[in-house]
Amino acid sequence: MANLKKIYARPALLLVVITILDQWSKVWAMERLSLAMEYERLNWARTPINYHDSIKVFDSWFWFRYAENRAAAFSLTESIPEWIRMPLLIAVSVGAIVGVLIWLKRLGPKAKIMQISLGLILGGALGNLIDRVRLGYVVDFIDWHLRGVNPSYTFPTFNVADSAIVCGGILVLLFGGREERLIKEQRESADQVHEEHEEPATESLQGEG
C-alpha cells in the first residue's frame, strides 16, 4: 500500500487539479462565449443582451472563442458517423487512462518525472472524457492564430485538458526514455548485487555438506 501511494500520489494530485481547472474553465467558456442570451434588469424590465462568442486577449494571435468538438483532436475521426465515433472516443479515453495507470505501476515509485508527465496526461484525458460523457462533445475555447499576415493561420481551438496532455507528452518525449533507462539500470545493478550476496552463502552451504 505504501508503495502504491508513492507511485500514484503525484499523478492523483495533478489529475484532480487539472480536472477541476479544466471543467471550471469550460463552464466559464459556455457561460461567456456561447452566445447564450443574458438578461439585464433595466427600469424593472428585462432586456436581452447578446454576449459575443469571442474575447480578444491579444488581437493578432490570442482569442477566447467558443467551439464544440465532436471529433478527436485536430478533427480526426470527423468522417465517422457519430453513433460509432462517440463510443469509440470514450473507449479510447478509458483505455488510455487504464494504460497510463498500468505504466505508472510498472515504472515504480522512483519515476518522479514520469509521474508528473503521466499525471498531466491523466488529468487532460479525464477532463475531455467528462465532456464526452456529459455533453456528447468537448468544449474548446483557446484560439491561437496569426492574423494580419499573408497567409494567415489558425491553430485548432483547444482547452486546458488538451494543454495538459500536450505538456505531459512533451515531458515524456524529453525525459521519459532517459528516466526509464536509469531505473532499469538501477534495478539490474540491485539484482546483480543481490545475486553476488547469494552466491557465497550457497557455496558455504555446499562446503559444509
Locate the domains of the chain by residue range: 2-194
The pTM (predicted TM-score) of the whole model is: 0.80
Has 140 been annotated as catalytic?
A: yes
Has 162 been annotated as catalytic?
A: yes
Residue 41 has pLDDT above 70, yes or no: no
pLDDT tens column, 84-125: 888 889 999 999 999 999 999 999 998 999 999 999 999 999
- CA 21 → CA 56, 93, 94, 170, distances in Å? 21, 19, 20, 20
Residue among 22, 131, 140, 143 flagged as catalytic? 140
CA neighbor of 171 nearest in space, from 124, 203, 106 = 124
